Amino acid sequence: MFMRPYGSWRSTRREMENLRREMNRLFTEWPRQARWFPAPEYPAMNVWTKDDVTVVTAELPGINPEDIDISVEDGTMVLKGNREPDETPENTVYHRRERKCGSFSRTFRLPFRVDADKVQASFAKGVLSITLPRAEADKPKKITIKSA
């Protein structure tokens, strides 16, 4: 560990904070499509919000909807599934093999607690879309102020 002769750990950290703020500003000024984050796990998901409903979309081409398992518990959603490899006859020679197969499991924190009974999911053209309405118990209650 080197001891820096000038400055201290705090000033280094301040510079990193500045850099991070600059990068954030750079990204938010771009058109919306450019502001995306690399996914931590497969599959990549996009989250749309409106008031008390969240919609999560994921691209899962070639997966049978029966092989997808969505479970919701309080504020977490777990998306599990399996992609089967294609059936190929004997004597097959592969020229390109870019599509991967296998199992995946992704856990996702939701911004609010969700009622598991009201969750709906649809799968069309290889895109999975999950609608999660906020649980009634989780909605903020308005507190009236009584004038005393």
Residues that bind other proteins (CB under 8 A): 32-33, 35-50, 53-55, 57, 59-64, 83, 85-86, 88-89, 91-105, 111, 123, 125-127, 129
- Residue 89 DSSP one-character state: -
Beta carbon nearer to other proteins, 32 or 146? 32
CA distances (Å), 8 to each of 12, 23, 88, 103, in order? 7, 23, 62, 47
Beta carbon nearer to other proteins, 11 or 46? 46
To other proteins, the closest distance from the beta carbon of 86 in angstroms equals 6
Beta carbon nearer to other proteins, 108 or 116? 108
- Residue 34 DSSP one-character state: G
Provide the terminal-to-terminal Cα distance of the chain, rounded to the nearest Å: 63
To other proteins, the closest distance from the beta carbon of 129 in angstroms equals 8
Beta carbon nearer to other proteins, 45 or 135? 45
Q: Which two tokens stand for residue 2?
A: 């080197």
User: Which of 129, 113, 111, 110 has the alpha carbon at shortest distance from 121?
Assistant: 129
**Alpha-carbon span 74 to 81, nearest angstrom:** 21
To other proteins, the closest distance from the beta carbon of 122 in angstroms equals 11
